[in-house]
Amino acid sequence: MLLLKISILVLLAIWLLAILFAYDYGRIGRLMQKQDCHAAVGDHLPPLSIVITAHNQAQALRRHLPAILSQDYDRFEVVVVNMSSTDETLDVLERLELQYANLRHTYTPSSARDISLDRLALTLGIRSSLYDWVVLTHPDCEPATSQWLTRIGETIAHPRNGVQSKRLTEPDMVIGFARYERQRTTLFDRRVDFFRLWNDITAINHVLTGHAAMRADGCNMAFRKAYFMEQGGFSAHQNLKAGAEELLVNYTSTPSNTALMLTPSAMVLQDGLPARRLWKQQRVFYAETRRHQHHRWLFRFTQALRMLLPWLLIFGVVAMVGILIATSLNPPPGSAASLSEEPSTLTIGILTVALLLFYIIFKITNFNRTARQLESPRYYLALLLYELRLPLWNLSAAITHHFASKNEFRKKFI
């Protein structure tokens, strides 16, 4: 019975920890429900420069750029950096420039070597921007509403009106939320949506608890141009192919200078991934990016614990069931008198099932509370399956990254 008591205590400790992490899923949703994130703050909002880098993405620019250029905002410009495109990108930009006076483009020199063209293009776009605040997004993205830039301007001017860490003082960067467009409803799309939402929730919660940002979505972020220059821009990792925006945030974010923009009207929608290999490629490249992250141990520990807890809970239940069966079939000699004073196998089984059901319902409720506030798809029993697969997805990417040539992740992007 001693082994049974120990297993019950261990399982209860795992369950309590899992409940705490499940409660954390709903942090963003609860804060957004309590605060009026849409309150008007006046007309004196800072001018903004939007920088977009594009390589052979004429169709994406033709489809999404008008929605950005038509934002309901007084003073803003859009700078598109053409990265040696060979399709109709230049023609699309020149035609749109005839319609929109606030659009202009530049290009990267084709002779550039030993530097990521993505980082070079971003640096050129940022340096050529007219205004002090720069907004970054991608060619295959467009704002969910015409108030996207207004929400960014309000967050810069009055960051305390929204959902923020208590340690925030004056922002040097603003991190927003992005999701894939709901054009398809295949199992692959649901899986990719969940993976992105889960990573965004864990990254944003890390900032809400008073820490510097570990990562950000490059589809929806803004920062002060002068601060970018002071921090040396992308010079620390100028030869890495991917992760430019994430490492920029990771190296320059502090608990007091990073503002969050968590309103549905500030969301950015991105085209869905057309192929599974692109999703795996993203995960493999992130495995390289995370090698270069700063202040990472606490974030990585909590993220790993969050991923492993569902598995620990399953193993704990299976182990306890095995111990219960073994104890009931082979009771210790001379323990008949004491067994009547111990909880019955049936009672322990019923309590275990009740706790598991409570955990499942509690976690799904909290996760969907945040998903609903962010206007993302809801997840029910599929949430459990996706959570169990999270460590397997990351392990697969880590193994692929380990055996890949390191030249795959460095130097020329195109």
- 297-326 pLDDT, tens digit per residue, is 899 999 999 999 999 999 988 888 888 777
Considering only residues 36 and 284, tell me which one the structure prediction assigns the higher pLDDT.
Answer: 284
- 386-414 pLDDT, tens digit per residue, is 999 999 999 999 999 999 988 888 765 44
Q: What does the block give as tokens for 93?
A: 């930009």
Q: What does the block give as tokens for 272?
A: 């869905």
- 285-300 pLDDT, tens digit per residue, is 999 999 988 878 899 9
Residue 238 has pLDDT above 90, yes or no: no
Q: What is the pTM of this model?
A: 0.89
| Of the listed ranges 122-131, 151-160, 213-222, 339-348, the one predicted with least confidence | 339-348
For domain 36-201+211-275, give the CATH superfamily: Spore Coat Polysaccharide Biosynthesis Protein SpsA; Chain A (3.90.550.10)
What CA–CA distance (Å, rounded) separates 153 from 177?
15
What CA–CA distance (Å, rounded) separates 388 from 376?
20
- 239-253 pLDDT, tens digit per residue, is 788 888 999 999 999
Task: Give the gyration radius of the chain's Cα atoms.
Answer: 25
DSSP 340: T
What CA–CA distance (Å, rounded) separates 364 from 353?
17
Residue 339 has pLDDT above 90, yes or no: no
Amino acid at 92: V
Q: What does the block give as tokens for 85?
A: 């495109």
Q: How many CB atoms lie within 10 A of CB 7?
A: 19
